[in-house]
Chains A and B, each alone.
Chain A
Amino acid sequence: MKIEGKQRIWMDYQKEIADDHFFYVRSCVRQNFFPGSEKTFLRILQSELQKDIYENPSHTTCSGIGYHADIVPFETSMTMVARQFALMTEAGYENFTTSCITSFGLYSEVLETWHHFPETEQKTRDFLYKATGRTFKKPSNVSHASDIIFKFRKKISEKGKYRLINRQTGQPLRVVEHIGCHYSKMFPSKGVGGAEYPYVLTGMIDEWGGEVIDYPERRHCCGFGFRQYFVQANRGFSISCSKKKFESMEPYKPDMILTNCPGCPMFLDRWQYAISEMEGKTYGDNGYGIPVLTYEELAGLVLGYDPWDLGLQVHQVPIEPLLEKIGIPYDPEMKFRNISGQDIGRPESPSFLKFYPEKV
């Protein structure tokens, strides 16, 4: 592998990412499964980087999941997107940033559609006005939240307490990066590093001291497939896709998987559990699985935030082996406590996937 070849491609896909004053919209999946990540993102931007980032309480889903499960017509989704732009315009912002990759893809698709078929933009404006009385300006910059963390990766590194180094061996941690399909597969120029060798997560891993693994099924979808997961009868497709990725990455002995899409980390985390229950097979060291992190969680760890403030307790694949490797202290007693530190019970252990570290 010649890294210069990739570096040359990265040079070709330099993306404009706004520097400050962001209008932030949340993700359906991330809020449900990784709420700590959204919280951490805002904390990093506001407290560490002193950026202005605003959330309007009236913003909603972009309807992207419904759109890609095909129950929501394109016209409806375009108007939902237009409403978010209207809230941004009314609040005096121009830089739009999304927590979700499906949303990021949809915003990009809608803007491209309006560009190539201007009559669709006019129709959307009419729909929005009729339904809400609102008007809007198009954003001058659209970024995914991972673009912003990428942009400030050096600053995070400078302020950081930890590096992605195995403290026992002194070797860089081996990291699988998994990019959400809708980040750049539709519009390669909209993603940092393009579609074939995206650099957005690789850049963070490089900067924070880890080593990126390039394995054969790197580009494969996690298998979410919208309707393929939401309907139980189709879930075999979804899990089979993820399994294919695990089998392909396993020989490289990854220490963790890093993701930028909200759905992928949930599936890559939960399917490891389901595969272990269905087939008895576990991946990763000593039956603990391969920890799956969001970029917000990883940035938070680098900055020295408490793992339980980041929400690492709601992963099915336990995160403690990774914390041990990096040398991040954590209090096992506090893992499953409520906000006042009271005991609210603990999750059961899975049958095969180890969940509670042995020494606890």
Chain B
Amino acid sequence: MPDLYNKLFEDVRVREGLKACLNCGTCTAICPAAEFYDYQPRRIVDILQTKDDSQIEALLKSDTIWYCGECMSCVTRCPRGNAPGKLIQALRSLSQDLGYFTESEKGRQQLAIKRTIGKWILEYGYCLFPSEILPGLHPEQGPIWEWEYQHIEAVMTRLGANYKGTGPGILRKIPDEALDEIYKIFEVTGGISRFDKIEEFSKKKAREMGMDMESGTNDDYVKFIYTVNSGNHTKKNED
């Protein structure tokens, strides 16, 4: 087993966000994830401060680390200067680097995010682009979005966008040289290698689960991880 605690401690967010926890619970008290999932940010800090690698490994392979919404409300309140939300980020990074994320239902979802947000960042230079927000995958966007989507160019132009245009402005086409630069940034800083790892470990998992995994968002595995919720995430309300 890799030296997990020390690996985590290499992450600047752990050095910044892990002090001595006194288990007071101010973080769990106002954590939105704790309200709806079987989750307590307090436990995360408590487990990390044990430095016990077997507990940390279990955490990295669990759904637990994927419930947080990173609102960072916990950071405001901690009387000891801990930052559970930052620790979650470090745990998620490590879980992906080691391939542990595919061991949990919520962790496996990283592939779906990589294939949408990740792809769009490199393709459009922004995390989202309207033509990609399919009303079918986002029914809650309502009839208004359906209408916008159908008339995307007309609506965006009416609202003052420079839709796919050159020069500055809303939803402009990002110049190719700029896209090249951000690709290079992703390459030298480990962004691309993170993406590759997500793909590689997911592929292994899909095979293990007997599912087909292509490269888009339409194959069985991606559809499965994108839509299926086992419902085992809120202990209090089960059965």
Contacts and interface: CB of A to CB of B under 8 A. Distances in A.
| Whether chain A touches chain B in the assembled complex (some CB pair under 8 Å) | yes
Contacts, number: 274
Contacts of B150: 345
Contact of B142 (A38, A116, A228, A350): A350
A131 B128 contact: no
Taking residues whose C-beta sits less than 8 angstroms from the other chain, chain B's interface range is 35 or more
B30 interface: yes
Contacts of A32: 128-130, 133, 171
A273 B142 contact: yes
Interface residues of A, number: 93
Interface of B: 11-13, 15-16, 30, 32-33, 35-37, 66-73, 75-76, 89, 92-93, 96, 106, 109-110, 112-114, 116-118, 121, 125-130, 133, 137, 139-148, 150-151, 154-161, 166-172, 174-175, 177-179, 181-182, 184-191, 194-195, 198, 225-229
| Top 4 closest pairs, chain A to chain B, by CB | A225-B69, A39-B160, A76-B191, A347-B147
Which residue, A117, A234, A350, has most C-beta atoms of chain B within 10 A? A234
A49 to B, nearest CB: 18
Specify the main secondary structure of chain B where it touches its partner.
helix
23 contacts: A32-B130, A35-B156, A35-B159, A59-B178, A61-B126, A63-B127, A66-B117, A71-B194, A72-B191, A73-B189, A73-B194, A79-B185, A186-B76, A221-B32, A223-B32, A233-B225, A237-B67, A240-B35, A273-B142, A344-B151, A344-B154, A347-B143, A348-B143
Contacts of A237: 32-33, 36-37, 67, 69
B185 A76 contact: yes
Given A227-B113, A231-B226, A314-B155, A65 B144 contact: no
A346 B121 contact: no
B146 A221 contact: no
Given A223-B32, A314-B155, A61 B125 contact: yes
Contacts of B128: 28-29, 31-32, 65
Given A36-B159, A241-B32, A221 B71 contact: yes
A22 B81 CA distance: 33
A1 interface: no
Interface in A92-114: 105, 113
Contacts of A39: 159-161, 170
Interface of A: 26, 28-29, 31-32, 35-36, 38-39, 55-61, 63-66, 68-76, 78-80, 83, 105, 113, 116-117, 120, 127-128, 130-132, 181-182, 185-186, 188, 195-196, 219-221, 223-228, 230-237, 239-241, 244, 270-271, 273-274, 308-309, 311, 314-316, 336-339, 344-350, 355
